[in-house]
Structure 1
Amino acid sequence: MNKFLIIPLLFGLLMLSCSEDKKKINESAADENQVIGEQGAALPSVSFYQYEDSSNYPDAILELYTPLGNQVFKPGKVPFEFNVKNFDLQNTGGGNARLFMILNGGDPVGYLSPIFQRELTVGTYRTVAYLVDDDGFALKSFGNYIDRDFLVGDSRPFPYSAEPYLALHQPKNAQIVSLGEELVIDFLVLGGDMKLDGLKVKIFVNEFSCEVNRMSPVRVSNLPKGDYQLKIQLLRSDNKELEGPFSTVSKTVFVR
């Protein structure tokens, strides 16, 4: 065989093998999400799916030295000090953050350094911090993420609860998704194991919905142009709702 033909052939086989590494799972039935366009024609069905789990950086460890549990700070600049093991925060190539933190269920903020400060007012706070992989998805192995409650000023701790809860990495509130691109929903379940504790996550994107029982990112394809209310809800497998302020997360998303 001509050696100039061998190279593209090998490249094609390599790409095929890479594409086969990721297999879709939990794909929703297309008929359940049929959309009719403005002209009465059927649009491609909205579908939800995940890829099979991939454990990137399973040995990465994120530790939180400050704040301590229910530590009290004065209003103003509150210090945060993390320690990262078996993971390089600087290995991005483009200077992208690989350490993210969420306060009280808000949008995540990325940091290039494990030591920083946040300007905070009086209140009770729950911080969820986690590492992200080369593709920007939250790492989901035990030790990749950590949570902690603390107080600023004259405030009371959150009522004790052993219930699991959610943290949402993607999307951010008011995020704009280009028409034809997938909406990616990347979340963490903290304080419990989805399989061992019989948990599931129900996702609503306006009238479209799906249920998943693993933490892999959920991808939503073929969303028509419009405004969407995204709601992610953590439930027991018997549909029993969980107590606590962070068992449900809502965001607004725009497809343009």
Structure 2
Amino acid sequence: MKKLNFLIAFALMALFVACEDAPKKENTSSEKDSETKMEEKEKSIKVYELEGSPEFPDAEISMLSPTSPNVEAGEVEFAFQVENYNLKDQTENAGENGLANSHHGQHVHFILNNGPYSAHYEDAFIKELPEGEHVVLAFLSRSYHESVKNEKSYTLAKLSVGEPTEEQKLDVDFEAPHLFYSRPKGTYKGKEQTDKVLLDFFLLNAELAADGHKVKATINGEEFMLDNWVPYVMEGLPLGENTVALELVDADGNFVEGPFNKVERTFTLAEADKEENEMEM
């Protein structure tokens, strides 16, 4: 009798365990579905290195004016010497890589304090500078806005404009790593400009590597770790407003302190304008 009771108890226990296991299997399946959906979400934007751009290893730019780091507030004349690079030329593969291209040709990207750049197709121009201390970065750009990246393709300067207050002064170490944002910018119109969008930035005193510094790019909330200083292409972006945030991090993923090493920008993708076929920025 005791043996029979034992067998009944054992059978009931086995049945109870089986019933307990059933919901767990359903949860596991649900978790797998969630993981799959998450993977699909992570792949909704594609980011890859741009290849095939003509190289300009000997291209140079240097600043001729202003000659003094101290200038008056207001209109400031900037002049540059450009060597081994032709401003206004169309870059050789322009129109073949699917990127928005300026019909004005190759130019200079002028950046003040890591703000949005202005494009200049002449080697001299006037900029309105407010009172304060400012960091000026100018680098050569291909006609489709990809920066030329070599040791002499840029010029960097700190200017004291007017009589800066203590709050307006900048403590910038030009020997430290710095990240400057370049593209994307503004509004892109039509399928030819919105299918592929250039992601580009300029680095100083930092080398990217799988086991070293990286740029963490967050695009519409999706994170990408970039370990090579090259131009990138983004695909799969929706029409409307998009957001890109860039952050320079070390080998452990920690933010590298610096006044320009974290930046966020928005840009817009729109349908083609019937009366305007080319974007100008």
Provide the rounded CA distance (Å) in 2 between the counterparts of 1:151 and 1:78: 12
Number of residues of Structure 1 aligned to a counterpart in Structure 2: 218
Q: Deviations over 1:64-118 (max 9, x none)?
A: 122357x111111112121111112242394335122111111111112212221
Give the match for residue 3 of structure 2. none
Verify the 8 A CA contact 1:55 1:140 in the aligned structure 2. no
Query: Identity of aligned pairs, percent?
Result: 25
Question: Greater strand percent: which structure?
Answer: 1
Provide the rounded CA distance (Å) in 2 between the counterparts of 1:254 and 1:135: 17
Provide the rounded CA distance (Å) in 1 between the counterparts of 2:231 and 2:170: 29
1:168 counterpart = 2:181: yes
1:223 partner letter: L
1:250 counterpart = 2:264: yes
Give the match for residue 48 of structure 1. 47
Q: TM-score with structure 1 length normalisation? A: 0.75
Give the match for residue 99 of structure 1. 108
Provide the rounded CA distance (Å) in 2 between the counterparts of 1:188 and 1:32: 32
1:45 partner letter: S
2:260 partner letter: F
Aligned-residue Cα RMSD (Å) equals 2.8
Provide the rounded CA distance (Å) in 2 between the counterparts of 1:102 and 1:72: 18
1:77 partner letter: E
Q: TM-score with structure 2 length normalisation? A: 0.68
Q: Which has the larger radius of gyration?
A: 2
Give the match for residue 87 of structure 1. 85
Residue number among 125, 130, 139 corresponding to 1:130 in the alignment: 139
Query: Any stretches of 5+ residues in structure 2 without a counterpart?
Result: 1-35, 92-102, 271-281
Task: Report matched runs for 1:59-208 at 5 Å.
Answer: 59-68=58-67, 71-92=69-90, 94-155=103-164, 157-161=169-173, 162-172=175-185, 174-176=186-188, 178=190, 181-195=195-209, 198-208=212-222
Provide the rounded CA distance (Å) in 1 between the counterparts of 2:54 and 2:210: 18
Change (3 A) 1:133 1:195: same
Provide the rounded CA distance (Å) in 2 between the counterparts of 1:73 and 1:145: 21
Provide the rounded CA distance (Å) in 2 between the counterparts of 1:152 and 1:197: 40
Following TM superposition, by how much is the alpha carbon of 1:47 offset from its aligned partner in structure 2, in angstroms? 1.6
Question: Greater helix percent: which structure?
Answer: 2
Provide the rounded CA distance (Å) in 1 between the counterparts of 2:264 and 2:169: 23
Give the match for residue 255 of structure 2. 241
